[in-house]
């Protein structure tokens, strides 16, 4: 095995997990076609540590006993699991192995936190929605005061700061519903943000490789729905990338020092807004040809470059 994919099955119900496993098979096959031997290890089986060097023990084995590539599914709704997974990621970063799911400047900060992404993108003149992060516990309600001050909107989206696959992305229409939603967040540990609902014609994923946009995947919600995620019933098709989005995307990839970056934009007649970015774990399987092969070639070239660097 030269690559280990550390997954976190506890995120899902068993039936959902089966579907995800089937969907991941295409990606696993691609790794094999590109000459990689890949092993999937569930995060709860791993014990991170130090014993003369960083260690990732699985029983009597150490996954860091030779130099490998790692992909880590870092997002979870479970705060205790998130702490465990960050110990795994930090052990890999401390070792001679490569954490392939990093691949950007300052991944601990900018890897998956949407608020941190908005700070970074907004500072660079990229259009970003006003966003309010919900404080914790009995202080959560303080978010509502800032929403009425800073988010001039007919409706709102409440979503986790660090999740994926459309998990917990909720559209609410009134301040009364928003207030009840914040009440429901009060006892939990899932950090969330509130944004205006941005009426959009789809979520465009732009793939940037070696500084240049190489493909665009437009995901549209199903009729009557608001989530564009293909895993939530949205549909995907190739789209040529408008020049404004191309320029912003290439600038972000450059400033993030990322050789391979997928950047999502919500589209509207009034212009796009930035939504989020992701590195090598972002889906591309829904692209038609020839874009799909172009993106997978770029992905595996990036993985090869990163494994070769520092060897």
Ligand X SMILES: Nc1ncnc2c1ncn2[C@@H]1O[C@H](COP(=O)(O)OP(=O)(O)OP(=O)(O)O)[C@@H](O)[C@H]1O
Question: Residue 20 CB, nearest distance to Mg ion (Å)?
Answer: 16
Strand pairing category for 3-7 and 38-42: parallel
Question: Which residue has the closest beta carbon to ligand X?
Answer: 228
Binding mask 283-302 for Mg ion (x = CB under 5 A): --------------------
| Residue 159 binding result from Mg ion, ligand X, none, given CB thresholds of 5 to 8 Å by partner type | ligand X
| Residue 129 binding result from Mg ion, ligand X, none, given CB thresholds of 5 to 8 Å by partner type | ligand X
Q: Which of 164/307 has CB closer to ligand X? A: 164
Distance between CA atoms of residues 33 and 38, nearest Å: 11
| Residue 46 binding result from ligand X, Mg ion, none, given CB thresholds of 5 to 8 Å by partner type | none
| Residue 302 binding result from Mg ion, ligand X, none, given CB thresholds of 5 to 8 Å by partner type | none
Q: Which of 200/258 has CB closer to ligand X? A: 200
Among positions 250-279, residues that touch Mg ion (CB under 5 A) are: 264
Cα distances from 227 to residues 59, 146, 198, 233, 238, in angstroms, run: 41, 25, 12, 8, 18
Question: Residue 179 CB, nearest distance to ligand X (Å)?
Answer: 18
Q: Which of 57/226 has CB closer to ligand X? A: 226
Determine phi and psi for 217, rounding to 5 degrees: -120, 115
Distance between CA atoms of residues 166 and 163, nearest Å: 8
Q: Which of 102/264 has CB closer to Mg ion? A: 264
Cβ atoms of 100 and 309 closer than 8 Å: no
Q: Which of 89/200 has CB closer to ligand X? A: 200
Question: Residue 183 CB, nearest distance to Mg ion (Å)?
Answer: 26
Question: Residue 166 CB, nearest distance to ligand X (Å)?
Answer: 5
| Residue 198 binding result from Mg ion, ligand X, none, given CB thresholds of 5 to 8 Å by partner type | ligand X
Distance between CA atoms of residues 234 and 257, nearest Å: 31
| Residue 163 binding result from Mg ion, ligand X, none, given CB thresholds of 5 to 8 Å by partner type | ligand X
Residue ranges that bind ligand X, judged by CB under 6 A = 129, 157, 159, 163-167, 169, 195, 197-198, 200, 203, 221, 226-229, 264, 266, 275-276
Question: Residue 234 CB, nearest distance to ligand X (Å)?
Answer: 7
Question: Residue 263 CB, nearest distance to Mg ion (Å)?
Answer: 10
Determine phi and psi for 137, rounding to 5 degrees: 55, -140
Question: Residue 151 CB, nearest distance to ligand X (Å)?
Answer: 10
Question: Residue 259 CB, nearest distance to ligand X (Å)?
Answer: 20
Question: Alpha-carbon torsion 65, 283, 294, 37, what sign?
Answer: positive
Q: Which of 57/198 has CB closer to ligand X? A: 198
| Residue 197 binding result from Mg ion, ligand X, none, given CB thresholds of 5 to 8 Å by partner type | ligand X
| Residue 77 binding result from ligand X, Mg ion, none, given CB thresholds of 5 to 8 Å by partner type | none
Q: Which residues bind Mg ion (CB under 5 A)?
A: 264
């Amino acid at each position: 095995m030269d690559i280990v994919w550390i997954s976190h099955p506890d995120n899902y119900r068993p039936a959902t997990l089966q579907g995800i496993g089937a969907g991941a098979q295409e990606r696993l096959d691609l790794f094999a076609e590109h000459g990689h031997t890949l092993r999937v290890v569930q995060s709860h089986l791993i014990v991170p540590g130090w014993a003369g060097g960083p260690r990732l023990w699985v029983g009597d084995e150490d996954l860091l006993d030779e130099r490998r590539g790692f992909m880590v599914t870092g997002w979870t709704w479970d705060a205790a699991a998130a702490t465990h997974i960050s110990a795994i990621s930090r052990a890999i970063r401390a070792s001679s192995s490569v954490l392939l799911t990093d691949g950007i400047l300052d991944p601990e900060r900018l890897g998956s936190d949407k608020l941190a992404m908005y700070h970074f993108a907004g500072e660079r003149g990229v259009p970003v929605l006003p966003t309010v992060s919900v404080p914790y516990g009995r202080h959560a309600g303080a978010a509502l005061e800032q929403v009425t001050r800073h988010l001039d909107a007919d409706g709102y989206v409440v979503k986790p700061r660090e999740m994926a696959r459309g998990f917990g992305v909720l559209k609410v229409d009134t301040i009364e519903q928003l207030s009840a939603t914040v009440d429901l967040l009060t006892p939990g540990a899932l950090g969330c943000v509130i944004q205006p609902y941005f009426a959009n014609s789809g979520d465009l994923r732009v793939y940037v490789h070696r500084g240049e946009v190489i493909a665009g995947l437009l995901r549209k919600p199903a009729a009557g729905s608001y989530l564009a995620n293909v895993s939530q019933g949205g549909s995907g098709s190739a789209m040529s990338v408008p020049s404004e989005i191309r320029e912003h995307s290439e600038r972000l990839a450059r400033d993030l020092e990322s050789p391979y970056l997928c950047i999502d934009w919500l589209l509207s007649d009034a212009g796009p807004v930035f939504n989020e970015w992701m590195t090598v774990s972002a889906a591309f399987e829904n692209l038609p040809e020839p874009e799909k092969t172009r993106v997978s070639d770029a992905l595996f070239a990036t993985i090869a470059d990163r494994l070769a660097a520092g060897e």
